[in-house]
Structure 1
Amino acid sequence: MPLQKRRIVIIGAGIFGTAMAYHMASPQTNIVLIESGSAPACGVTGRAFGWINTVHGRPGSESHALWQKAVRDYPALIQDLPEIRSFSRGGSLLWHASTQETEHLLTTRRDAGETVELVDRAAISRLEPHLRHIPETAVFSADDIAIDPIRLATTLLSTARRRGATVRFDETVSSIETANGHVTGVQTSTGLIETDCVVLAAGRGTDVLAKQLGIDLGMILSPALLLRYACQQPFIRHILDGPRVEVRQSLDNTVFIAESWHADMEEPPSLIGARFLSVLVDEFDIPSPLSLIRAEIGHRPTFHDNLPRIGFVPEVEGLYLATGHPGLILAPYLARLATRDILHGDMPDVPNVTTNNDPLPHKI
């Protein structure tokens, strides 16, 4: 008699949810992924800049070490899913206002074990021939990856579906049902789904559903602005991060700018997008006109220690957390480790799984 399949409901079709579905879907599992939107990456994942890197981490910290592992794991994902190459490209150039600051960045990244090199004006000009104001030096990282977050989530989910996962779009979760401290099901807008395990991967919605169960995750929402511009021709070859702008251009020629956002900012996102048009025109020889498509704010789920929350929640048996920032960098790697944890009891060897002593989710 065949063994009963493990019933697992994943809530959220962002990068964490789709990566979990991709790794867990198999003939031995019954995976149901629920998404309130009409497509993958409708939330914060779809508003991510798409830079797979470690430059924004603090060398020596647990979070930075985790980012390094995740970035080094990305080539294996691309090897397994070669179609990712059609919507990704490699390499980044970073520089600061002074040569001294740029050289310090190089030293810091090299000391952290990263493969980077210092390039001069001639090399920068060859790498980015449309750049107007060429710095004296820049740090070139060939291992960094620019990737389309929406297409990545879609690819992961499509593969999961081919492996047997069920995906239910336009369906909202109202509650997680429990009995005697154990998950029993998920109540949605279409009815009850009975399950043995629930993976909370819904970004900011994870915090809402956890609080319904009396669990405070300590989640902090960190807003960021993503600007998209239409362009007919390519003029940026790599991810560029300079004093004035953090920008990349995708293979379909869409231009992306990442910008910080604060709740007390007086300018609306659309005006900021219009203002950055002049920055782009000043920084680059642009071969065709640019037009602002969208200016969107993404609310990134973060925690005070800059670490994700991955693992079973002690208070509710069968409830699993999969959330944190930067999700696009971490999710494919952590979802692979989490799959071993859920299916085989092999707890991931990463900092701050929920069974660690500090910090833990706690009862409200």
Structure 2
Amino acid sequence: MRAAPRIAIVGAGIVGSAIAYFLAARGASVTLIDAAGPGAGVTDRAFGWINVALADPDGPGANFKHRVIDDYRKLDDRLHGRLNIAWQGALSWSDDPGRTEARFADLKRADHRVTLLDTAQVARLEPTLKSPPALAIFAPEDGMMRPGVSARVLAAAAMEAGAALRVGQAVDNIEPLPTGGVRLWLGNDRAEFDRVVLAAGAAVADLCRPLGLILPLEASPSILTRFRSPVPILNRIVESPEFEARMETPNYLVTAESYQGDRSDCGPEVVATGLRKALATGLTGGEALTLDSVQVGMRPVQVGCGPIVGRVPGSPCLYIAAFHPGVILAATIGGLVAQDMLDETVPTELEGLAPR
């Protein structure tokens, strides 16, 4: 009987924790490593929208578009509902009804399960909208979750399956060994593994650079803002020209926004103030919102390519899993990576995604 491979996962966000769970569930000897702990990095600053229909049909992850929702449902079933995903769907529209209609037609051609709603139908779904749009796209199967919490659930499930968790030390250096395997340098400590998966988001590019591997990956900032709300004022995700928002809990509303930099006219607090005004203008009850927190997350966005997933050329014991959108693709890619590493067969969906 072959010994279970010793595999380290560097990065315990939603992607790394999902990979750790799928590997441990199949009997691998897994060590999950993160300096801060599961779900404590950019994952905790993610919006938490599980969607395919309203994503770019030609963008990153398009190969997986027909699997994402089903894979998350299957994963949550395996975990007995512990991911706590709310499958309430999502509404999206443009300020130009013609563009909304054209977008809907594109999504239907791509075989997405979406519906085009008129003003009255939108108002029935979201009665707090002060000015419901003439047309909106409804994706009834979209879900929403708290990504940081979900990452911690996945890490806990991995440990229940036998994985070890190592926190409090960052990986400083990676050394592929000439005899096979990989040595990790963690402060004054060293640890050797048969294989290592780098799933530490934007930091993966920095870890790979000393190896002579330049990844087409950059850190792209985004802002997650939380507002306290006396009562729930949305039923599902709403993506309008003015804001992208959902209820995180009955008394907290969260929004996501791109971050344009540290200039005084577009810093996080300025963005949060503008969002509060937009919510007060657009939603009945929005005027009662009060700012709770505003956080900046650095998303690992690939440049000119799809998700970066696969073995490093010349170092087959080193594996990369770095991409955006991590929340959307974690359940699907997590299972595929486990299949790739343990079955020694690259799944069709991952072909062509390995770093070059």
Structure 1 and Structure 2 fold alike (TM over 0.5): yes
2:316 matched to which residue of 1? Answer: 317
> 222, 226, 230: which one pairs with 1:224?
222
**1:125 corresponds to 2:117:** no
* 3-state DSSP of counterpart to 2:320: strand
User: Following the alignment from structure 2 to structure 1, what is the Cα–Cα distance between the partners of residues 77 and 280?
Assistant: 37
Deviation at 1:320, TM superposition (A): 0.5
> 193, 196, 205: which one pairs with 1:195?
193
1:300 matched to which residue of 2? Answer: 299
Letter in 1 for 2:210: Q
1:329 matched to which residue of 2? Answer: 328
Alignment of 1:70-85 (within 5 A): 70-84=68-82
Contact 2:336 2:350 in 1 (8 A): no
User: Following the alignment from structure 1 to structure 2, what is the Cα–Cα distance between the partners of residues 185 and 132?
Assistant: 58
Contact 1:88 1:148 in 2 (8 A): no
CA-based RMSD: 2.1
Contact 2:159 2:165 in 1 (8 A): yes
Deviation at 1:300, TM superposition (A): 1.2
* 3-state DSSP of counterpart to 1:65: helix
* 3-state DSSP of counterpart to 1:185: strand
1:107 matched to which residue of 2? Answer: 105
Deviation at 1:18, TM superposition (A): 0.2
Deviation at 1:297, TM superposition (A): 1.7
Letter in 2 for 1:171: Q
User: Following the alignment from structure 2 to structure 1, what is the Cα–Cα distance between the partners of residues 122 and 3?
Assistant: 58
For structure 2, which runs of at least 5 residues remain unmatched after alignment?
none
Contact 1:33 1:166 in 2 (8 A): yes
1:14 matched to which residue of 2? Answer: 13
Deviation larger for 128-137 or 5-14: 128-137
Letter in 2 for 1:153: A
1:185 matched to which residue of 2? Answer: 183
1:234 matched to which residue of 2? Answer: 232
**1:145 corresponds to 2:143:** yes
Deviation at 1:353, TM superposition (A): 4.3
2:24 matched to which residue of 1? Answer: 25
Letter in 2 for 1:330: L
* 3-state DSSP of counterpart to 1:25: helix
Contact 2:93 2:241 in 1 (8 A): yes
Q: Which runs of 4+ in 1 moved over 6 A?
A: none
Q: Note closer, same or farther for the CA distance 1:14–1:60 as it changes in structure 2 (3 Å cut).
A: closer
2:4 matched to which residue of 1? Answer: 5
1:339 matched to which residue of 2? Answer: 338
Deviation at 1:86, TM superposition (A): 3.1
Contact 1:6 1:29 in 2 (8 A): yes
1:50 matched to which residue of 2? Answer: 48
User: Following the alignment from structure 1 to structure 2, what is the Cα–Cα distance between the partners of residues 308 and 64?
Assistant: 10
Deviation at 1:35, TM superposition (A): 0.4
* 3-state DSSP of counterpart to 1:258: strand
Cα deviation code 1:8-55 (max 9, x no counterpart): 111001111100111011473211111010x31221111111111135
Q: Note closer, same or farther for the CA distance 1:283–1:114 as it changes in structure 2 (3 Å cut).
A: same
Number of corresponding residues: 355
Contact 1:306 1:325 in 2 (8 A): no
Q: Note closer, same or farther for the CA distance 1:102–1:178 as it changes in structure 2 (3 Å cut).
A: closer
* 3-state DSSP of counterpart to 2:315: coil
Contact 2:89 2:139 in 1 (8 A): yes
Letter in 2 for 1:291: T
User: Following the alignment from structure 1 to structure 2, what is the Cα–Cα distance between the partners of residues 287 and 218?
Assistant: 40
User: Following the alignment from structure 1 to structure 2, what is the Cα–Cα distance between the partners of residues 26 and 115?
Assistant: 32
Deviation at 1:184, TM superposition (A): 3.1
User: Following the alignment from structure 2 to structure 1, what is the Cα–Cα distance between the partners of residues 3 and 99?
Assistant: 59
Deviation at 1:99, TM superposition (A): 2.2
**1:278 corresponds to 2:277:** yes
Q: Note closer, same or farther for the CA distance 1:27–1:74 as it changes in structure 2 (3 Å cut).
A: closer
* 3-state DSSP of counterpart to 1:89: coil
TM-score normalised by the chain length of structure 2: 0.93
TM-score normalised by the chain length of structure 1: 0.91
Deviation at 1:181, TM superposition (A): 7.0
* 3-state DSSP of counterpart to 2:233: coil
Query: Identity rate of aligned residues, in percent?
Result: 31
Letter in 2 for 1:335: G
Deviation at 1:117, TM superposition (A): 0.8
Letter in 2 for 1:293: D
User: Following the alignment from structure 2 to structure 1, what is the Cα–Cα distance between the partners of residues 59 and 192?
Assistant: 40
Q: Note closer, same or farther for the CA distance 1:122–1:333 as it changes in structure 2 (3 Å cut).
A: same
Deviation larger for 205-214 or 297-306: 297-306
Q: Note closer, same or farther for the CA distance 1:334–1:87 as it changes in structure 2 (3 Å cut).
A: closer
* 3-state DSSP of counterpart to 1:90: coil
Letter in 2 for 1:36: A
Contact 2:63 2:349 in 1 (8 A): no
Deviation at 1:343, TM superposition (A): 1.0
Deviation at 1:84, TM superposition (A): 4.0
1:290 matched to which residue of 2? Answer: 289
Contact 1:87 1:250 in 2 (8 A): no
Deviation at 1:73, TM superposition (A): 2.1
Deviation at 1:245, TM superposition (A): 0.9
